[in-house]
Structure 1
Amino acid sequence: MTALRAFSHCIDAISEAVGLGLRWVALLLIALGVVNVFGRYLGAQIGFQLSSNALLEAQTQAFAVLFLLGASDLLRQDGHIRVDIVHSHLSARARGWIDLIGGLLVVIPFSLVMLVFGLDYVERSWSRLEVSPNPGGLPLYPIKTLILVGFTLLLLQGLSQVIKAASWLRGET
């Protein structure tokens, strides 16, 4: 179990590093939002277009990066939404079992399904070098690739959570 816990620690470190890097993406998302709002309203006042489809799509893609890549770090921090009203009233051992079973029956299978179905989706996007249909829109294939990256990270973090829960339930800390 020591090797598995070391593997879990490495996964946690990767998720944490990704989460820390996403702080910059969050700042970029905020900046893009401010630029888009000011561009839209100021442009309307002076009669000149100051915003663009590319800026609007960049804002959407920055959100997609946060959502897709941030899920693994959120899971590492135990920040995902669940029914805490019930969960908080359970014993620590029961919560450990819920975390173990939830990881094995929900997180890992869901991540695997998303990877299987996402592979063809991303492959088709790359084969066409897909670009947004909007005038001045951005390429879509790089952001669609993050579907695979994000669910791979979530799968790994799910494995890490299962390893930690199993270890804790066995009395190893």
Structure 2
Amino acid sequence: MNALLKFSSAVDCLNSFVGRYIKWLILAAVLVSAGNATTRYMFNIASNAMLELQWYLFAAVFTFAAGYVLKVNEHVRIDVMSQRMSPRTRNWIDFFGLLLFVLPVTLYITLQSIPNLVETYINQEVSANAGGLIRWPVRAMIPIGFGLLFLQGLSELVKRWAFLKGLIEDPLAHGGHATVSMDDEKEKA
């Protein structure tokens, strides 16, 4: 189990690194968008490449950050229900959800997207839009992003199992699953 927890820690570090730096692509997308709008309205110069670059940057943020979001427990959940469950019940639900849904789906998407990426790269596919960008970089985001999400899913599965075995603290104690006590709810009311 110690080797699995070390693997989990390494994956957590990888996705934390990605999560810490991927946010700068949002600033880049805003600057590209502002620059494109400025040149379009002030100088009547439009660029499909700049529009596509915005989409590429947004796609990179969305796909690459998914593993980080899973790591910090901020993905979509039904907190109203989960707050009322015991930590063991929440971790069992997560364990089976990760095992039966997250891992198979992310692995499938990762593996199925690779041939498309290879074909796009070999053919040097370019956007159909005039002045558009090459497609392989955006196609590479799918296996990379879902690969990171798959690895984080494995990491979370290890942490859930370790918690259920009593080896670590509750990995769901922070983030979207943080427990709200009834006293906290009364104070808010």
TM-score norm. by structure 1 comes to 0.93
Deviation at 1:103, TM superposition (A): 0.8
The runs of 5 or more residues in structure 1 that have no matched partner are none
Moved more, 7-16 or 148-157: 148-157
Q: Residues of 1 paired with 2:22 and 2:146: CA distance?
A: 16
The match for 1:131 is 126
Write the mapping of 1:143-158 to structure 2, written as runs, cut at 5 A.
Answer: 143-158=138-153
The structure in which a higher percent of residues are helix is 1
TM-score norm. by structure 2 comes to 0.85
The match for 1:115 is 110
Deviation at 1:116, TM superposition (A): 2.4
Q: Residues of 2 paired with 1:42 and 1:106: CA distance?
A: 50
Q: Residues of 2 paired with 1:167 and 1:64: CA distance?
A: 33
Deviation at 1:31, TM superposition (A): 1.0
Structure 1 stretches of at least 4 aligned residues deviating more than 3 Å after TM superposition: none
The match for 2:24 is 24
Task: Give the AA of the match of 2:71.
Answer: R
Q: Residues of 1 paired with 2:36 and 2:6: CA distance?
A: 45
CA deviation string 1:70-101 (max 9, x = no partner): 10001001111011111111111111111111
Q: Residues of 2 paired with 1:33 and 1:83: CA distance?
A: 34
The match for 1:102 is 97
Deviation at 1:154, TM superposition (A): 0.7
The runs of 5 or more residues in structure 2 that have no matched partner are 169-189
The match for 1:66 is 61
Q: Residues of 2 paired with 1:133 and 1:157: CA distance?
A: 35
Deviation at 1:119, TM superposition (A): 1.7
Q: Residues of 1 paired with 2:83 and 2:38: CA distance?
A: 44
Q: Percent identity?
A: 36
Q: Residues of 2 paired with 1:124 and 1:70: CA distance?
A: 25
Q: In the comparison of the two structures, how many residue pairs are matched?
A: 168
Q: Does 1:167 align with 2:162?
A: yes
Q: Residues of 1 paired with 2:42 and 2:83: CA distance?
A: 49
CA deviation string 1:132-155 (max 9, x = no partner): 111111111122112111111111
Deviation at 1:41, TM superposition (A): 3.0
